[in-house]
Homo-oligomer: A and B are copies of this chain.
Amino acid sequence: MTQMTLSQALNRAHHDVMAADDHIIVIGEDIHGGSGVTGGQELGGVFGVTRGLASRFGAGRVIDTPISETAFVGMATGAAMTGLKPIVEVMFCDFMGVCFDQIMNQAAKARFLSNGRFDLPLTIRTTMGAGDGSGAMHSQSTFGMLSSVAGLMVACPSSPADAAGLLKSAVAAKGPTILMEHKGLYGHADTVEDDLPAVKLGKGRVVREGTDLTIIAVSAFVHKAEAAAEALKKDGIEAEVIDPRTIKPLDEALILESVKKTGRLLVASEDAAFAGFADAVISFVTRAAFADLKAAPVAVTPLDIPVPYGRKAEAKWLPTAETIIKAAKQMMEA
């Protein structure tokens, strides 16, 4: 066991998979860094995740691109159809708007349209998340939206081990997988197994056991949910915290099992307040386990307006552990 940050774990996982399989290439803006600049050093991505890859594996496998997301995400998709296993980075998920056709129509549907005659081992890495004053176009979380597109797998790690492990599974998957990394977690450190084992797509994790209510939380919200559970314990409320890790396919069995035990569901998620992940889980659970529910499920999501910039406003927009605690208590009293 070693201690490392989420960005270090991702970096290590990149090194591992690229060393093991020379069909894996990495594509994106500034992921090598300094392309065409004389005399400088490798950058390794704006968050350091791809550091050292270019010097180790060469510019042929670590490819800097112009700011042309449509062309290079499409290129990665086409490469995945023809024998390579590209990992392509879209710097922020907010930027996916400019290349959304290549994601929602091309990458998501090509394997289906071929009737599975080719695999599409494409990994799209991106960042997400608010809380650092990045404003309306550098702070969104779009995992719910992306999960609504049939044909895409979407994973949102909350820990260094899961980040590395999900990346390893993504590059080995048959279809396109989007790995969404919360900006606020890159510096988050935790222990990992030395060989950074793969984490199966579609398998969630019980972060903390409890009997009174089930909290489903994603990415950075997992840590808020843990803090909330800790606080709730002091009031005698035992919350079970589940990190689904993969949004699509969702580990429905794990969620149902927990709700059947607790009878109460709270979903805490940074994506859309309307038709987002929280709605998907609440709808699914209510449809599948209505009789087991003892109280109305609760969604803890940001406000249904764009992400504001100013600190006070952003703090109001973004739920905290406190928000979860309050919502959980209300539910227990109901």
Contacts and interface: CB of A to CB of B under 8 A. Distances in A.
A117 to B, nearest CB: 15
Interface string A107-123: 01100110000000000
Nearest to A265: B286
Nearest to A136: B109
B109 A306 contact: yes
Interface string A96-109: 11101111110011
Interface stretch (A33-41, A58-66, A271-279): A271-279
Nearest to A115: B308
Closest 4 CB pairs of A and B: A97-B101, A290-B296, A100-B100, A279-B283
Contacts of A160: none
Contacts of A70: 98
Interface of A: 70, 94-98, 100-105, 108-109, 112-113, 136-137, 144-145, 147-151, 248, 250, 271-280, 282-284, 286-288, 290-291, 293, 295-299, 303-306
A274 B147 contact: yes
A275 B275 contact: yes
Contacts of A279: 275, 279-280, 282-284
B112 A103 contact: no
Given A109-B137, A306-B150, A280 B290 contact: no
A16 to B, nearest CB: 31
B290 A148 contact: no
Contacts of A282: 279, 282-283, 286-287
Given A136-B112, A296-B291, A275 B280 contact: yes
Contacts of A278: 283
Contacts of A97: 100-105
